[in-house]
Structure 1
Amino acid sequence: MRIALGAFGLQDDLNSKFFIKKVLEGGVENPKSLANRLADKRYFEMASAFGFGGTGAAAVTENGFADKIIGLYQSRSFEVAVGESDENLRLALGLRRDLAALARKDASEDTKWFTIMGAAPLRKVFEVAFSLPKSFGTIDIDKQLETLKQKSRQAFGDASVSQFADPERIEALTRRFLLRADLAAVSQQFSGGSIALQLLQSARFQR
C-alpha cells in the first residue's frame, strides 16, 4: 500500500485504508464514482491505473502492471527527496510527467484546464508561472478558466493544454515557473521589513 499510494503522491493517506478502498472499488467509469467526484485528481489517476469498478478485467491482471507502479513510485520518491531541499524543483520534476500525460489525453481543453485546477501541484506551477495572486483560487471557477487560457495565450501564443504535449513547451513553462518562483523568493527576502532589519543589524555590527 505504501508503494501504491506513493506512486501517485498520496503517501500521506497511508492510514486511510477504508477511504482508499472506496476510491479503488468505485473505479472511474461511473461519473458518480468517488474518484470522479474528488477535486484532487491524483485519486482519479490511481483509480484509473488500477482499473477496478469497470466492466472489464482490472488493470492489476495485466502483464507489467507491478513494474509500472514500481517505476512511478521510484520517480515520485526521487521527487520527494529533491523536494526536501527545494520544493520548486520537485514541482518542476512532476510537471514534466503529469502535464505531458494530461496534454496527450483525449478530452476537451476545458476539461484539461479543470483537471489542472484540481491538481494542487499543477495549479501552483501555473499560478506562479502566470504571476497570479494567492486569492486566484477563490474567484469563480469559470473566471479562473478564462484567466488561465488568456495567460497561456499571452505567454505561449496558444490557449490549449494540448500544446504541452511538446517537450519544448513544457521546458518553456518550467523555466518560466522557476524564474518567477526565484523572483518571488528574492522579493520576499528583500521586502521593506527585511531590508530595515538588515540595515539595523549592519549598523549594530559596525558600532
Structure 2
Amino acid sequence: MSFQPVIPFSGAAGWAFLQRTKDVQQTAFESGAVLQRDVQYFQETIGEITTAEQLVSDRRLLSVALGAYGLSDDINNTYFIRKVLEDGTLDSDALANKLSDKRYLEMAKDFGFGDYNIPRTQISDFGTKTTEAYKERQFEVAVGNQNQDMRLAMSLERDLGNIVGKSTSNAGKWYSVMGNPPLRQVFETALGLPPSFGTIDIDKQLEVFQEKSERYFGASTVDQFSEPDRLEELTRLFLARSQIAQGTAALSSNSIALTLLQYA
C-alpha cells in the first residue's frame, strides 16, 4: 500500500502540522512504486511523442500529463484534450483561449503542439519538468483525500505565483484567479462570498474581489500575495472560514436529524 499523508487536525492546527512535516511526508509518498513507474515511463517515452493524437492515445502518458496541471478528471475526454492541444495558444480563436479555466491554456502552451513545428516534448528536460509538477500535484491529491481544504491551501503559493509573475494588469490577474477553479474557491471562501457569486456579471465579480480584498488585506491587487505574510494571512482566513462553514453545516444537519427523531 502506498503512503497516505497524515493530517491529524483541521484548520490552522492541521495546516501548521502539514507545513512542518510536508517534506518528509512528500518524500515518503513519492517513493511509492506505482508513482515511480509512471514517472519513469513518462520521462522515457514523452520524447517520442510529436502530436497531440499520439499523446491522447497513450492513456498512461496522458494521465501524467493531465495530472501535472490538475486536470486528471479529463482523462476520458480525449477528443476535447486533443482539440485543446492541437489548437495551441497563438490564435485568438484557439479553444484554450476561450475556456474560462486557464489550466488548459497553460497545458497547451507548455506542450506546444499547435504553436510550433517541433513541439516542446522534444526539449531534453521536458519530461523531468512535467513529472516534477505531476508528483507535486499527486501529493496534493493524496492530501486532499484526507482534507480537501489542506489540498487547496497547498496549491495557493504555486498558482498565485504563476499569476503574480505575469506582465498584465491587475484586472487581468484577477480574471486569471477567477479562471482557476481551486484559486477561485479559496478566494470566495476567504472573502465570505456565497455559492451563487459566480453567476453574476464577470465585471461585477471583479469589482467585488477587489473591494473585499482591500477590506480584508489592505490592497486590491493580486500582487500583494507575493508577500509571504499576506499569503499566509489569506491561507489562514480561508481555513478558518471553511472550518466555520463546515461546522455550521454539521450543526444544521444534526438539528434536522434531531427534529426528525423527535417527530418519529
TM-score (norm. length: structure 2) = 0.71
RMSD across aligned C-alpha pairs, in angstroms? Answer: 2.0
Letter of the 1:71 counterpart: E
Q: Deviations over 1:149-184 (max 9, x none)?
A: 001111111111112222322211111100100011
Tell me the equivalent position of 2:115. 54
Aligned 1:166-177 pairs, distance under 5 A:
166-177=227-238
Tell me the equivalent position of 1:28. 89
In structure 2, the CA distance between the partners of 1:168 and 1:52, relative to structure 1 (3 Å rule), is: farther
Tell me the equivalent position of 1:83. 144
For the 8 Å contact 2:109–2:115, the answer to whether it is kept is no
- Rounded to whole Å, the distance in 1 between the matches of 2:221 and 2:178 is 14
For the 8 Å contact 2:170–2:222, the answer to whether it is kept is yes
Among 196, 216, 220, the alignment partner of 1:159 is: 220
Aligned pairs, number: 201
- Rounded to whole Å, the distance in 1 between the matches of 2:132 and 2:140 is 13
Q: Compute the displacement of 1:115 (Å).
A: 1.4
Tell me the equivalent position of 2:10. none
Q: Percent identity?
A: 47
Q: Which moved more, 1:138-147 or 1:46-55?
A: 46-55
Q: Compute the displacement of 1:194 (Å).
A: 2.3
- Rounded to whole Å, the distance in 1 between the matches of 2:153 and 2:261 is 36
Tell me the equivalent position of 1:205. none
Aligned 1:140-151 pairs, distance under 5 A:
140-151=201-212
Gaps of 5+ in 2: 1-61
For the 8 Å contact 1:104–1:165, the answer to whether it is kept is no
Q: Compute the displacement of 1:86 (Å).
A: 0.9
Q: Deviations over 1:55-87 (max 9, x none)?
A: 575322223111110011101111111111211
Letter of the 2:181 counterpart: A
For the 8 Å contact 1:101–1:165, the answer to whether it is kept is no
For the 8 Å contact 2:152–2:182, the answer to whether it is kept is yes
TM-score (norm. length: structure 1) = 0.89
Task: Establish whether residue 138 from structure 1 lines up as the match of residue 213 from structure 2.
Answer: no
Letter of the 1:155 counterpart: Y
Among 227, 241, 246, the alignment partner of 1:180 is: 241
In structure 2, the CA distance between the partners of 1:64 and 1:198, relative to structure 1 (3 Å rule), is: same
Tell me the equivalent position of 2:187. 126
In structure 2, the CA distance between the partners of 1:196 and 1:23, relative to structure 1 (3 Å rule), is: closer
Q: Which moved more, 1:65-74 or 1:110-119?
A: 110-119
